[in-house]
Amino acid sequence: DVKVTQSSRYLVKRTGEKVFLECVQDMDHENMFWYRQDPGLGLRLIYFSYDVKMKEKGDIPEGYSVSREKKERFSLILESASTNQTSMYLCATTGASGTYEQYFGPGTRLTVT
């Protein structure tokens, strides 16, 4: 079974803080994704990475950056947290080319006050 873990289940940060969310997968998958999920809006892609040090912007990259220094680890960084970044953040991974089934981590519920 694919295992995707995220560093925190719940996080509370103050406006202006720098926030790091980390995701680790144990299946040697190439592709990793960061989404946020908000009621009524579904999942929206922030960034994805298809290899170490490679990244592409998703639909809503503003206010976020990412880092992928090792294949198994994909970090999402909020440079200066704002209240509109309060959300559920989900990391996902897919396997070898030709398969588009995504496996999600347990999510981090971030509250910015």
Partner 1 sequence: RKEVEQDPGPFNVPEGATVAFNCTYSNSASQSFFWYRQDCRKEPKLLMSVYSSGNEDGRFTAQLNRASQYISLLIRDSKLSDSATYLCVVNENNFNKFYFGSGTKLNVKP
**Shortest Å, Cβ 80 to partner 1:** 25
CA end-to-end distance (rounded Å), the chain? 37
The residue from 25, 31, 85, 87 that contacts partner 1 (CB under 8 A) is: 31
Phi then psi for 84, rounded to 5 degrees?
-75, 0
Burial track 37-51 (b if 16+ CB lie within 10 A, e otherwise): eeeeeebebbbbbee
- Of 16 and 106, nearer to partner 1 (C-beta) is 106
Beta pairing partners, 93:
32, 103
Only segment of 14-22, 42-50, 67-75, 78-86 that touches partner 1 (CB under 8 A): 42-50
- Of 48 and 64, nearer to partner 1 (C-beta) is 48
Q: How many CB atoms lie within 10 A of CB 84?
A: 9
The residue from 48, 74, 78, 87 that contacts partner 1 (CB under 8 A) is: 48
**Footprint of partner 1 on residues 75-94 (CB under 8 A)?**
90, 94
Residue with tokens 């994704």: 33
**Which residues of this protein are in contact with partner 1, per CB under 8 A?**
31, 33, 40-45, 48, 50, 56, 58, 90, 94, 100-107, 109
